[in-house]
Amino acid sequence: MEQRRVIKTQNKSISDAHVKNGTTPKATRTSPRKGTERTLKLTRLVGEVDRPFLIILTVLICIGSVMVFSASYPSAEAKYGDSFYFARRQLLFVFLGTVSMAIATVVGDYRRLKKISLALFVFALIINAATAVPGIGLERNGARRWLNIGIDFQPSEVLKFALILMCARHISDNTDKMRSFRSGTLPFAFLLGASAITTVLQSHLSCTIILCIIVFALMWMGGTKKRWLFGTVGAGAAGLYIILQNMAHSIRRVNIWLDPFSDLSGAGWQPVQSLYAISAGGFWGLGLGQSNQKHGFLPEPHNDYIFSILCEELGYFGAIMVIGLFALLVWRGYVIAKKAPNMYASLLVMGIMCSLAAHVLLNIAVVTNSIPSTGIGLPFFSYGGTSLMIWMAEMGVVLSVSRYSYLKKG
């Protein structure tokens, strides 16, 4: 008789042999007996990924691509004489991003990421530090956040992902030691400190904040003692305050945030025009393509402030729908993490989804002038090649994990 394999609920682990070979243990139908425990079966329908996650992601990317065209065609026509200039490039980035996502989903193996996490983290630190080198790093608006490699590449996107990998790796390898200061706090302080140094050198305070959020979230889920956790948060907040006080452009942004109408001819122009766009949309919006603020009033409306154009054209209703889609995507990511085959995979997915949620919340907060301007784009919406491709590759990692998810039986 064929041996039946029963996976107990409390033993949430997967056979590496089956995962490595890409095979799936046959689900067994056991008659419920009195006193027997609920079982879990491993489900992977012909190598399929989590369908709800993929559908929600696809809808967001489609809406984002439409909004890039709607928000960019006036400036594209004025600068390049081609109203489809940004839209055409964005579609190319979507195609390349889809390829990277497919590779990460089907060909990639999340366990290999654990093996190369240290090398990738060191590489990310090096390329981020390289932005300070003249001739290699590009300076814009007083910040050096890009590398000149034929295209404008922002290495901080790689650093965020590498930091997630390192934190997930450390927690999964030191589960029983996470309540100690030596294993549960000190390594994270080192990882965050090394990362933050490179982003501060770029005057990239927004990325530094995202890195802090990622590390805090993973420490919380990893089981770090609350006193060490909140002590680290306090030290990080103090460090950010000191950095803020020594960055002239950050101080100015705070002052403009407090009263954007005080400098309408300068730094206050963009947040004020963003608020005008949001208020003009009302509940139902002016209609797709009917925004007024994108016609020379809101600078580069297809980038960080694209959400304000969405609010103007699709109104409060459209904004809530998009926010709801992001919330559903994060929730579905949480479901995938909960059913992940092991702790490392679970933490990897949760780290990616925490980073996504932080980007969305901070971008919307900036657009509505709830916080000072930070230069954070809206994932899948803001125009940009490297950012979109990396985001889609990270979504591919989440989908890869979903291929080995557990489902409760009956």
CB 352 within 8 A of CB 392: no
Say how far apart CA 19 and CA 37 lie, in whole Å: 25
- For the chain, domain boundaries: 57-107+263-410, 117-246
Q: Which of 174, 192, 191 is nearest to 183 (CA)?
A: 174
Whole-number pLDDT of residue 36: 35
The amino acid at residue 240 is L
pLDDT 10s digit of each residue in the chain, 410 long? 333 333 333 344 444 444 444 444 433 333 334 433 343 344 444 458 899 999 999 999 999 999 999 999 999 999 899 999 999 999 999 999 999 999 998 877 788 899 999 999 999 999 999 888 877 787 776 667 888 776 678 899 999 999 999 999 999 999 999 988 888 899 999 999 999 999 988 878 889 889 999 999 999 999 888 888 888 778 777 877 776 666 666 677 778 888 888 888 778 899 999 999 999 999 999 999 999 999 989 988 999 999 999 999 999 999 999 999 999 999 999 999 999 989 999 999 999 999 999 999 999 999 999 988 877 899 999 998 888 999 999 999 999 999 887 654 43
CA distance 354 to 171: 16
Rounded (10°) CA dihedral 187, 189, 192, 196 = -140
The owner of tokens 């209609």 is 287
> Which residues, in sequence order, are CB contacts of 182 under 8 Å at separation 6+?
none
CA–CA distances in Å: residue 41 to residues 8, 9, 402, 407? 9, 10, 14, 6
Q: Which residues pair with 41 in a beta bridge?
A: 407
Q: Which helix (H) or strand (E) holds 293?
A: none
**pTM for the structure as a whole:** 0.85
The residue written with tokens 């009195």 in the block is 34
Return the pLDDT at 86. 94
Amino acid 142: pLDDT: 64
Rounded distance between C-alpha atoms, residue 292 and residue 286, angstroms: 9
Q: Write the single-letter amino acid at 381.
A: F
CA atoms within 13 A on the CB side of 54: 15
**Largest Cα span, the chain:** 81
Choose among 214, 114, 125, 129: nearest CA to 166. Answer: 114
The backbone region for 251, taken as left when phi is positive above 0, alpha when psi lies in -120 to 50, beta otherwise, is: alpha
